[in-house]
């Protein structure tokens, strides 16, 4: 990876990454995708190689984060209503990355409770 670029986001499929890349490109930011051709040739290996990475030039990174945070999809409840942070009441809620420290959850990750993270105050919580 070029040292002048930083990873902004990781996507499971290249179609999602391409839509976000197009928005950032239309704002005049320097972007590129990594691993999209590999995943397009075999989508089943997406998790194995870490997904499609959306890279942004380091000089444009802060502006890209702001744009990405306005267009990204946030979590909703099963009725389609926005979820809110218990600390700051923000509706910018994402699924928190898993930190499987327990061997059982490494073998059976579907038993682990889903945790959420507020994109504003960064608090991690369970719903």
Q: Read off the pTM.
A: 0.66
Q: What pLDDT is stored for residue 114 in this prediction?
A: 75
pLDDT, tens only, 67-104: 988 887 777 788 888 888 889 988 888 777 666 677 77
Alpha-carbon gap, residue 113 to 109, rounded angstroms: 9
Q: Which comes out higher in pLDDT, residue 49 or 2?
A: 49
Q: What is the mean pLDDT of residues 53-74?
A: 89
Asked if pLDDT for residue 31 goes beyond 90, the answer is yes
């Amino acid at each position: 990876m070029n040292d002048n670029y930083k990873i902004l986001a990781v996507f499971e499929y290249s179609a999602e990454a391409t839509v976000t890349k197009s928005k950032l490109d239309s704002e005049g930011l320097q972007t590129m995708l990594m691993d999209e051709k590999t995943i397009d040739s075999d989508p089943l290996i997406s998790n194995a190689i870490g997904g499609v990475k959306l890279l942004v030039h380091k000089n444009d990174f802060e502006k890209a984060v702001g744009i990405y945070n306005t267009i990204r999809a946030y979590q909703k409840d099963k009725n389609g209503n926005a979820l809110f942070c218990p600390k700051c009441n923000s509706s910018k809620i994402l699924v928190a990355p898993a930190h499987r420290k327990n061997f059982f959850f490494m073998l059976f990750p579907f038993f682990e409770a889903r945790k959420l993270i507020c994109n504003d105050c960064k608090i991690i919580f369970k719903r």
